[in-house]
A and B are shown apart, each in its own frame.
Chain A
């Protein structure tokens, strides 16, 4: 582990911002604000990528996570009824479950970073994250996983349509109940 004074200060500031935003995501009472804070978190993570010179990853993180998945989240929140009465109750059972799974995830991350950081620090390959080199690797060494991911997308599409269509059958009901509350 390098000493604190050796860590570049932009990294410290960015990490501070990302952690602050991420904390706000989980502590905020309003789901919409959580989503906004999550978008900010993604921005700061993108800035981290830029600092590592992984420019393509940085912008993909922005486009896919901040630009696409968060829009989906907002839609889901708007799809839900956000009136005060329907706010889900927070029970301790959920909190404990979440804490345990987050702890396990943290364990996995620390373990993987500990084993790989040596390798990364010894072989800093400048430009691995640039779009050109990334494309070369993706279409030669990882061609089969790439094609397989296409099948994964296919499965996701089928799943999405299935869910959407099942809801569409009940849609008239939800709309009526929605109106009734108004």
Chain B
């Protein structure tokens, strides 16, 4: 089955899941008590009074990880159409992919040598 109609059950399952989640969240907000006080509506944070808010910049390392992830993810995606056709393509296709992997590895080693994966410094 490789037609669009095969996705109707997935759509149904998404609807069921969303329906359940919305219903449960709605019910729990109605069933529980609601006694709001000024202190209770404060952030808990770590138990002591919180200072300022949580809207300040994070380390650039996370950003670098995310950008490298995007690049590598696209490269990994490219392997899927190859893997599916692997048996038909034989040695020729394998060499093509090895070339691609070599370029991938060159980038990977460069990134590694530049210390993008260092988290303890």
Please indicate the chain A residues that have their CB under 8 angstroms from the CB of B44 in the complex: none
For the complex, what is the distance from the CA of A37 to the CA of B81, rounded to whole Å?
Answer: 30
Interface flag for B89 (CB, 8 Å): yes
Q: Tell me the nearest residue of chain A to B57, going by C-beta.
A: A178
Q: Tell me the nearest residue of chain B to A174, going by C-beta.
A: B57
Task: Check A50/B103 contact, CB under 8 A, given A153-B71, A164-B116, A182-B52.
Answer: no
How many B residues are at the interface, by size bracket?
35 or more
Among the listed stretches B21-29, B35-43, B104-112, which one makes contact with chain A, having 4 or more residues with CB under 8 Å of it?
B104-112
Chain A min CB distance to B109 (Å): 10
Please indicate the chain B residues that have their CB under 8 angstroms from the CB of A23 in the complex: none
Q: Which of A60, A81, A168 contacts B57 (CB 8 A)?
A: A81
For the complex, what is the distance from the CA of A71 to the CA of B56, rounded to whole Å?
Answer: 18
Interface flag for A99 (CB, 8 Å): no
For the complex, what is the distance from the CA of A104 to the CA of B59, rounded to whole Å?
Answer: 38
Q: Which of A78, A153, A182 contacts B58 (CB 8 A)?
A: A78
Please indicate the chain A residues that have their CB under 8 angstroms from the CB of B78 in the complex: 138, 146, 149
Contact in complex: A181, B75 (CB < 8 Å): no
Q: Tell me the nearest residue of chain B to A164, going by C-beta.
A: B64
For the complex, what is the distance from the CA of A53 to the CA of B7, rounded to whole Å?
Answer: 10
Contact in complex: A132, B84 (CB < 8 Å): yes
For the complex, what is the distance from the CA of A15 to the CA of B62, rounded to whole Å?
Answer: 35
For the complex, what is the distance from the CA of A55 to the CA of B4, rounded to whole Å?
Answer: 8
Q: Give residues in B with beta carbon < 8 Å to A.
A: 2-4, 7, 51-53, 55-64, 66-71, 73-75, 77-78, 80-82, 84-85, 88-89, 93, 96, 99-100, 103-104, 106-108, 110-111, 114-116
12 new A-B contacts at CB < 8 Å, known A50-B4, A136-B85? A50-B7, A68-B74, A75-B66, A83-B53, A138-B81, A139-B89, A139-B93, A143-B96, A150-B75, A160-B68, A165-B114, A168-B60
11 contacts between A and B (CB under 8 A): A53-B2, A56-B80, A72-B66, A79-B60, A132-B85, A139-B89, A150-B103, A153-B74, A153-B75, A164-B116, A168-B61
